[in-house]
């Protein structure tokens, strides 16, 4: 004979089981939400750092490969380099510029349109170039501050990176 299962439990026992089950489900959901936010925060921080590092690598490479800093257009917000790379036809020297385009870093090769070095997902708060002269050698210090774009102001989407690097020009 089939025994009715509900006759073996009292109302209080059922309420206790439901309460325990609800607490366990709430804990599981809270843990999953925390894991999702943690994963998002890690992804945002990694993306911000990777973008800032990539820009610094491009800047360091171009500074090393350039002949000199072009002083007439170089200031704390723009770096102009004289180079033998990216030569227009019939020319024996060329110029490249790095500067802020709104909140993104641009690279402009002579007679070409600017190229964005940073994606839309991050914004550059500060880009400062400082030329350092030591005898015949010249170096450029770059100070860069990058934030992840966070229009909703959610804490898991907040990330900032501040990098400083000094690169010497090669004397050929």
Q: 41-88, pLDDT tens digit by residue?
A: 999 999 999 999 999 999 999 999 998 899 888 888 999 999 888 777
Range(s) of the domain holding residue 23? 9-168
Per-residue pLDDT at 172 exceeds 80? no
For residue 108, tell me if it sits in a domain. Answer: yes
For residue 77, tell me if it sits in a domain. Answer: yes
For residue 3, tell me if it sits in a domain. Answer: no
For residue 1, tell me if it sits in a domain. Answer: no
| pLDDT given at position 1 | 47
For residue 96, tell me if it sits in a domain. Answer: yes
For residue 4, tell me if it sits in a domain. Answer: no
For residue 160, tell me if it sits in a domain. Answer: yes
Nearest to 92 by CA among 103, 84, 82: 84
Q: How many domains does the chain have?
A: 1
| pLDDT given at position 11 | 86
Look-up: residue for tokens 């914004």?
Answer: 123
Q: Which residue spans within 15-93 are E strands per DSSP? A: 68-69, 78-83
Nearest to 82 by CA among 64, 72, 99, 95: 95
- pLDDT tens digits for range 108-128: 998 889 999 999 999 999 999
Higher pLDDT, 113 or 136: 113
Q: What percent of the chain has pLDDT over 70?
A: 95
| pLDDT given at position 3 | 57
For residue 68, tell me if it sits in a domain. Answer: yes
| pLDDT given at position 5 | 56
Query: Please, what is the average pLDDT of the chain?
Result: 90
> At 150, is the secondary structure helix, strand, or coil?
coil
């Amino acid at each position: 004979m089939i025994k009715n299962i509900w006759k073996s439990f009292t109302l209080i026992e059922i309420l206790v089981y439901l309460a325990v089950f609800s607490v366990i489900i709430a804990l599981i959901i809270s843990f999953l939400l925390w894991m999702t936010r943690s994963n998002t925060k890690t992804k945002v921080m990694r993306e911000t750092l990777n973008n800032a590092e990539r820009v610094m690598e491009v800047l360091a490479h171009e500074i090393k490969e350039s002949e000199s800093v072009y002083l007439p257009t170089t200031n704390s917000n723009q770096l102009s380099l004289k180079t033998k790379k990216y030569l227009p036809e019939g020319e024996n020297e060329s110029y490249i510029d790095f500067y802020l385009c709104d909140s993104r870093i641009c690279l402009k090769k002579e007679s070409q349109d600017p190229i964005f070095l940073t994606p839309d997902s991050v914004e550059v708060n500060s880009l400062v170039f400082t030329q350092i002269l030591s005898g015949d050698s010249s170096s450029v210090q770059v100070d860069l501050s990058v934030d992840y774009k966070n229009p909703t102001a959610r804490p898991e989407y907040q990330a900032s990176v501040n990098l400083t690097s000094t690169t010497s020009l090669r004397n050929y």
